[in-house]
A = this chain, B = another copy of it.
């Protein structure tokens, strides 16, 4: 494919073809070994560049893989051979309107950058993936990303009021706007959230913001058994709505403790970290209720701190669990979710899958909303272990489906989970998905191989 026309149409330096640059854009964090090598990377400087690229690609039937910060965990940004990787990392504008409590943000801004910019106006953008310091807001919208606060505050789609999105043929359209209420026409904004770059490329987001939250109270509790921990989770969520309710199993506790040396109980089967952000002394009240619930469920140790730094240290420990467990070996990373009453069945079922397949699976979880991250440790140099790890990866998704859950709570389907999607959705929903895809991207250039 001759790239000269595209190079001429775009600003100088926007099209990169150096082999080592291309190598850096082949994979996202899913590290898909089947990743292809792109023809070129386009680093768009704005909507016009995205339009130009898609118009050219649609005309020449060249596949385009949209990419944010490349921190995706399902291979949604895995490059395909002969395609373009279209990066939005340079589209980083932001404007904030404190009166409507909205921000208009470029897709290339990191989640943490959005949080910091709005905090200057006393505002808060809630969704908080553990990777918030390195994931982009555009990628968050493309995957309908979640995080720790979602148990109380919802997920990305709940904060996207509008967007500019470029369709497969290069047409840029504006959807929604800085209005909480808008019933004019189909809910197209919401349709593009979570579409993983298969329907269009988001070039701007209008985000809903909340007032900054008060300082939080944090509860930390250790449990000798998984059953006691899942009982505590149900007791806490039954009593109130925590602002966070996180879970780490013994593998994760020990991996984190190896690195951070903060005195976590290495003998515990599970650790819960919960938070309240109720106003004033209500936070302490809620913390006491959560503490009581943990103790009644048999916590071996449980305490409460109103000190924000101490609370943040435990939250950071939980966020650090994935990189810490990764020190044990490369990971196959899941994000299966189930309705909360089935969480215990999921966690014990995963332990069984690990045993039967003779692999280490560490489970961390956004426990309050039933969304778990089983981390399957394996050695890719060991073909037998790799096969067992991949078998466990599939069995965990099948277990989640059997428990009425989802194969992905917040990472998206990408390419790694695609084979299991029909099992969850069924043929009719897959057909519906295909009809929408074909209507919006008739030549199939947008992120081919993702979701479908």
Q: Which residues in A have some Cβ–Cβ distance to B below 8 Å?
A: 97-100, 102, 143-146, 150-151, 154-155, 157-158, 167, 171-175, 177-188, 190-191, 193-195, 198-199, 210-211, 234, 237-238, 240-241, 278-280, 282, 335, 337-341, 366, 369-371, 404-413, 417, 421, 424-426, 428-430, 432-433, 435-440, 451
11 contacts between A and B (CB under 8 A): A99-B341, A178-B404, A179-B370, A181-B369, A182-B408, A184-B407, A184-B424, A188-B433, A278-B279, A280-B280, A439-B439
Contacts A190-B190, A211-B240 hold; do A181 and B337 have CB atoms under 8 A apart? yes
Contacts A158-B158, A184-B421, A282-B280 hold; do A100 and B179 have CB atoms under 8 A apart? no
Contacts A100-B340, A187-B191, A190-B157 hold; do A429 and B182 have CB atoms under 8 A apart? no
Please state if A429 and B175 are interface contacts (CB–CB under 8 Å): yes
Please state if B185 and A425 are interface contacts (CB–CB under 8 Å): yes
- Known pairs A167-B432, A182-B408, A183-B335. 20 more at Cβ < 8 A? A99-B237, A99-B339, A143-B183, A144-B187, A154-B180, A158-B158, A174-B426, A175-B429, A178-B339, A180-B370, A182-B337, A184-B417, A184-B424, A186-B198, A186-B437, A279-B279, A279-B282, A280-B282, A432-B440, A436-B440
Please state if B146 and A410 are interface contacts (CB–CB under 8 Å): no
Q: Which residues of chain B have C-beta atoms less than 8 A from A146's C-beta?
A: 181, 183
Contacts A181-B409, A183-B408 hold; do A154 and B144 have CB atoms under 8 A apart? no
Q: Which residues of chain B have C-beta atoms less than 8 A from A185's C-beta?
A: 413, 421, 424-425, 429-430, 433, 451
Nearest CB of B to A116, in Å: 21
Identical chains in the assembly: 2
Please state if A186 and B436 are interface contacts (CB–CB under 8 Å): yes
Nearest CB of B to A430, in Å: 8
Please state if B182 and A187 are interface contacts (CB–CB under 8 Å): no
CA distance A151 to B173 in the complex (A): 27
Instruction: Choose from B99, B145, B155, B425 the contact partner of A340 (Cβ within 8 Å).
Output: B99
Q: Which residues of chain B have C-beta atoms less than 8 A from A335's C-beta?
A: 183
